[in-house]
Amino acid sequence: MMTPSPVLLEVNGLKAFVESTEILHGIDLGVSRQEVVAFIGPSGCGKSTFLRCLNRLHEETPGGRAEGRVTLEGQDLYASGTDPVQIRRRIGMVFQKPNPFPSMSIFENVASGLRLNRIAKGVELEARVEAALREAALWNEVKDKLDASGMSLSGGQQQRLCIARALAVKPPVLLMDEPTSALDPVSTAKIEELVIQLKKETTILMVTHNMQQAARISDRTAFFLYGDLVEYGPTTKVFTTPSDRRTEEYITGRFG
């Protein structure tokens, strides 16, 4: 039984280290175009590290190193000739903790990727910033103070600002590390809607601790445990008839 949609992102034997500690023990996983994949698992199991390996950000961690093969549309991200900068323009990221640029205004934060990479300017830039802020469900709250510092926003607003910043450059792949963990139910619902909307043109890999959220919005679910990928399959199957006992125990809240 082959999946019909072409594989966009393929991971083979991915290991991640910090100094000499092995954090991921050889992950194999493929993601198809226009899919939403949810990553679940107990705290510290390596979900964030896994995402950070996909845009080659893990190597920016002091002592961080990755081994294995990750291909995006057939291009090996870890091949010696690959420029991580080019990769990161195609794979956007929303971090677990909000990290707006402290010296920039709200507008400048969202515009930063477009402006500093010289993708857009002037009226087009303004339009794309507004669109990104609307998508991130932040526009109404900030439209009258676009020049205020990004740091003047609340934690949840900052997180949505970071989502808007990542959306503005329209990356074909988006990594989202617990994007809604700091948000109220209304904003969370809006971000979930956004993810479902974005699916038409974007492939989304999202870490979440919220099982209902994973069940609601993802097509596939990956369950990580102690640096191993224990189970990976269609979300409905993982949540109803998991093949591994540990998955079932985790989902039903009996451990982790």
Ligand X SMILES: Nc1ncnc2c1ncn2[C@@H]1O[C@H](COP(=O)(O)OP(=O)(O)OP(=O)(O)O)[C@@H](O)[C@H]1O
| Residues in 71-100 at the binding interface with ligand X, rule: CB under 6 A | 96
The answer for residues whose C-beta is within 8 angstroms of residue 120's C-beta and 6 or more apart is 114, 128
Give the interface size with another protein as a residue count (CB under 8 A): 32
Q: Is 210 in the site for another protein (CB under 8 A)?
A: no
Whole-number Å distance between alpha carbons of 164 and 131? 9
- Within a 10 A sphere around the Cβ of 159, how many other Cβ atoms? 28
Per-residue contact track with another protein, 167 to 206, x per CB under 8 A? --x-------------------------------------
- Nearest distance in Å: CB 148, Mg ion: 29
* Residue 160 makes contact with ligand X by CB under 6 A: no
- Rounding to the nearest 10 degrees, give the CA dihedral for residues 166, 172, 177, 182: 50
Piece in contact with another protein (CB under 8 A), picked from 18-26, 56-64, 194-202, 230-238: 56-64
Instruction: List b or e across 169-178, with b for residues whose CB sees 16 or more CB atoms inside 10 angstroms.
Output: bbbbbbbbbb
User: Six-digit token pair at 75?
Assistant: 């291009």
Q: Give residues 82-101 in contact with another protein (rule: CB under 8 A).
A: 84-90, 92-93, 95, 97, 99-101
Q: Given candidates 48, 202, 221, 247, which one binds ligand X under the rule CB under 6 A? A: 48
* 48 is an interface residue for Mg ion by CB under 5 A: yes
CA distance 154 to 184: 12
By beta-carbon proximity to another protein, the closer residue of 107 and 239 is: 107
CB of 101 to another protein, least distance (A): 6
Question: Distance between CA 233 and CA 243 in Å, rounded?
Answer: 10
Stretch that binds another protein, among 13-21, 164-172, 195-203, 247-255 (CB under 8 A): 164-172
Q: Which does 242 bind (CB under 5 to 8 A by kind): Mg ion, another protein, ligand X, none?
A: none
Q: Considering the rule CB under 6 A, would residue 45 count as an interface residue with ligand X?
A: yes
Footprint (CB under 8 A) of another protein, residues 97-126: 97, 99-104, 112-113, 116-117
Residue 122's φ and ψ, nearest 5 degrees, are 60, -135
For 4, residues 6+ apart whose C-beta sits below 8 A from its C-beta are none
- Residue 101 three-state SS: coil
Return the one option of another protein, ligand X, Mg ion, none that residue 95 interacts with (CB less than 5 to 8 A, by type).
another protein
Q: Tell me which of ligand X, Mg ion, another protein, none is bound by residue 46, counting a contact when its beta carbon lies within the kind-specific cut-off of 5 to 8 angstroms.
A: ligand X
**Distance (Å, rounded) from C-alpha 97 to C-alpha 94?**
9
155: Cβ contacts below 8 Å, ≥ 6 apart: 98, 182
| Footprint of Mg ion (CB under 5 A) | 48, 96
